[in-house]
Structure 1
Amino acid sequence: MSIRVGIVGISGFGGGEALRLIAGHPSFELVYAAGDGSAGSRLVERFPGAPTALANLVIEKWDPDALPHLDVLFASLPTGASADALSRVPEEVKIVDIGGDHRYAEGWTYGLADVWPERIRGARRVANPGCFPAATLNTLAPLLAGGLITPGNIVIDAKTGISGAGRGGGGSFGYAESNENLQPYGLLQHLHMPEMATSIEHLSGGSAAGLVFTPHLVPMTRGLLVTTYCRGSASTGQCLEAARDFYADRPFVRVTDRPPQTKWAAGSNLSFVSYAADPARDLVIGLGVVDNLGKGAAGQAVQNANLLCGLPETAGLGGAPLWP
């Protein structure tokens, strides 16, 4: 079965990762690529390693009113750039929005695929979680659903590779500024805060008031690690057991006894979670690792598209992480 797919925003890091995964997908056929600055180029000019079958596909100027016949459209556009345009895409075209405009928007399903796959199956419009929420919510979900932690006053300390800033991230994220450097950013107002707070409340049935989230850029290309500090009297063993039960039938989440590392997930759609708890201090620490371009963006987007299309959830996503 050939499913015709397109990617808009293909020249960005998220769009390029989607291209890599779709090129090896057993059912998806890339027939449309779109961008703005890259329009008119062949894929091989933007991606010299593009597969031969796709090398001469011409990147078109993004115009939602002039789409070819598509079954699925992946949109990887900057926040604020997709809401109006995607509203003009025909209803019969399924959309996975990797960008930030439709998370918890009316008419869109929030695509936290490892936690709520049943909500995604049969949907037509799916909003991919942000990279930080993907790691954070996969870590917290078993604890919140099981009542092992309180949903309020959670502190999230997060580190991501420079590709998390996007290809158009600006001059402050260049090599000279980023190498041998650690940069906090988006304090108190990061765009991922609302979706994390809303998801925490949905998972727990309680209030996420007091949520604190501080992201940092670290001098590596890709990878994301979150450390969450929560209140709860559960032991380390109870947290690990709850997570293993919660993710027992989920193909991409690995629960580990030892703290995960970013290289474990590099180039993959895997999500690693682990815990350390001190009941005497009413403290639970949750650790989560994803590849910010994999599970944090294009990997989860393909996983969501598989669910939309009734395919095996793992289709095109079985590759092992890069190591070393």
Structure 2
Amino acid sequence: MSLRVGIVGISGFGGGEAMRLIANHPSFELIYAAGEGSAGSRLVERFPGVPAKLAELVIEKWDPETLPNLDVLFASLPTGTSAEALARVSQDVKIVDIGGDHRYVAGWAYGLADVWPSQIKGQSRIANPGCFPAATLTALAPLLADKLIEPGQIVVDAKTGISGAGRGGADSRFGYAESNENLVPYGLLKHVHMPEIATTIERLNGGSAAGLVFTPHLVPMTRGVLVTIYCRGQATTRQCLNAARRFYAERAFVRVTDAPPQTKWAAGSNLAFVSYASDPERSLVIAMGVVDNLGKGAAGQAVQNANLICGLPETAGLDGAPVWP
């Protein structure tokens, strides 16, 4: 079975990663690519290493009114730019929105694929989680589901590689000179990912996430997200690890490890790594999560969600090993 697939925002980091995964997918055929500044270019001009079968595909200017006959559309557009246009796409076309416009919006399923796969299957509109929520919520879900931690006493310290900021233009604040040998906190108290993290915490546990604290930091590496999450609870380290292993027993992409995870473990993959440490005497539980921000944090989970809504094996096109070193 071959499904006709399109990507909007293909010249960005998320769209480019989606293209890389779809190019080797056993059931997806990329027939449509759209962008803004790159419109009119062939894919090979934008991505010199693209497979030969896609090299001559011309990037079109994004217009939902002129879409070809598609089965699935991946939208990788900046937050705030996709809602109006995607509303004009036919309901016959399944959409996975990698951007942030549809997370917890009516009519769109929240695509936390390793936690709620059964709620994603059969849907036609999927809102992909952000990269920070992908790492944070994957680590927290087993603890919240088993009520091993208090949902209102969670502090998230997050680190991300520079590609999480998007490709940007010539005036980008994330160039080499600005980012090299630098560590930058940002989005304090009001980061765009906080609402979806808080909503999902409450959905998983039933309690209030009103005390959530989330602080992201930009670190000088290309890929990767690592979150260190401080929680209140009496569970032992072994109880946390066992809860996660039970929770993810049937999930192909989540690895529960005794050792604290590292960002390189997930590089170039759709894997998520989680681990835990606790001190019951201080009512302290530390949860750790690692993802590739362009993999599980964006395009990898988007393809996983597309597999689910299309009735394909969940691992199709995603079972490659991480890049090492």
TM-score norm. by structure 1 comes to 0.99
Please report the RMSD computed on the Cα atoms of aligned residues, expressed in angstroms: 0.6
Q: Distance in 1 between matches of 2:306 and 2:34?
A: 18
Equivalent residue, structure 2, for 1:212: 213
CA deviation after TM superposition for structure 1 residue 238, in Å? 0.2
Equivalent residues in 2 for 1:14-93, closer than 5 Å: 14-93=14-93
Deviations along 1:301-320, one digit per CA (max 9) or x if unpaired, are 00000001000000000100
Equivalent residue, structure 2, for 1:295: 296
The one-letter code of the counterpart of 1:99 is: G
The one-letter code of the counterpart of 1:168 is: G
Q: Distance in 2 between matches of 1:38 and 1:52?
A: 19
> What SS class does the counterpart of residue 172 from structure 1 fall into?
coil
Q: Distance in 2 between matches of 1:171 and 1:81?
A: 19
> What SS class does the counterpart of residue 264 from structure 1 fall into?
helix
Deviations along 1:238-291, one digit per CA (max 9) or x if unpaired, are 000000000000000000000000000000000000000000000000000000
Equivalent residue, structure 2, for 1:243: 244
The one-letter code of the counterpart of 2:18 is: A
- Structure 2 residues without counterparts, runs of 5 or longer: none
CA deviation after TM superposition for structure 1 residue 171, in Å? 2.6
Equivalent residues in 2 for 1:1-324, closer than 5 Å: 1-168=1-168, 171-324=172-325
**Misfit runs of 4+, over 4 Å:** none
- Structure 1 residues without counterparts, runs of 5 or longer: none
Deviations along 1:89-134, one digit per CA (max 9) or x if unpaired, are 0000000000000000010000000000001000000000000000
Q: Distance in 1 between matches of 2:287 and 2:203?
A: 19
> What SS class does the counterpart of residue 289 from structure 1 fall into?
strand
Q: What is the count of residue pairs matched by the alignment?
A: 324
CA deviation after TM superposition for structure 1 residue 168, in Å? 1.4
The one-letter code of the counterpart of 1:213 is: F
The one-letter code of the counterpart of 1:127 is: A
> What SS class does the counterpart of residue 206 from structure 1 fall into?
coil
CA deviation after TM superposition for structure 1 residue 172, in Å? 1.7
Q: Distance in 2 between matches of 1:100 and 1:74?
A: 13
CA deviation after TM superposition for structure 1 residue 153, in Å? 2.1
Q: Distance in 1 between matches of 2:264 and 2:285?
A: 24
TM-score norm. by structure 2 comes to 0.99
Q: Distance in 2 between matches of 1:292 and 1:53?
A: 27
Q: Distance in 2 between matches of 1:259 and 1:126?
A: 31
Q: Distance in 1 between matches of 2:86 and 2:182?
A: 37
Q: Distance in 2 between matches of 1:248 and 1:115?
A: 11
The one-letter code of the counterpart of 1:2 is: S
CA deviation after TM superposition for structure 1 residue 149, in Å? 0.2
Q: Distance in 2 between matches of 1:134 and 1:271?
A: 8
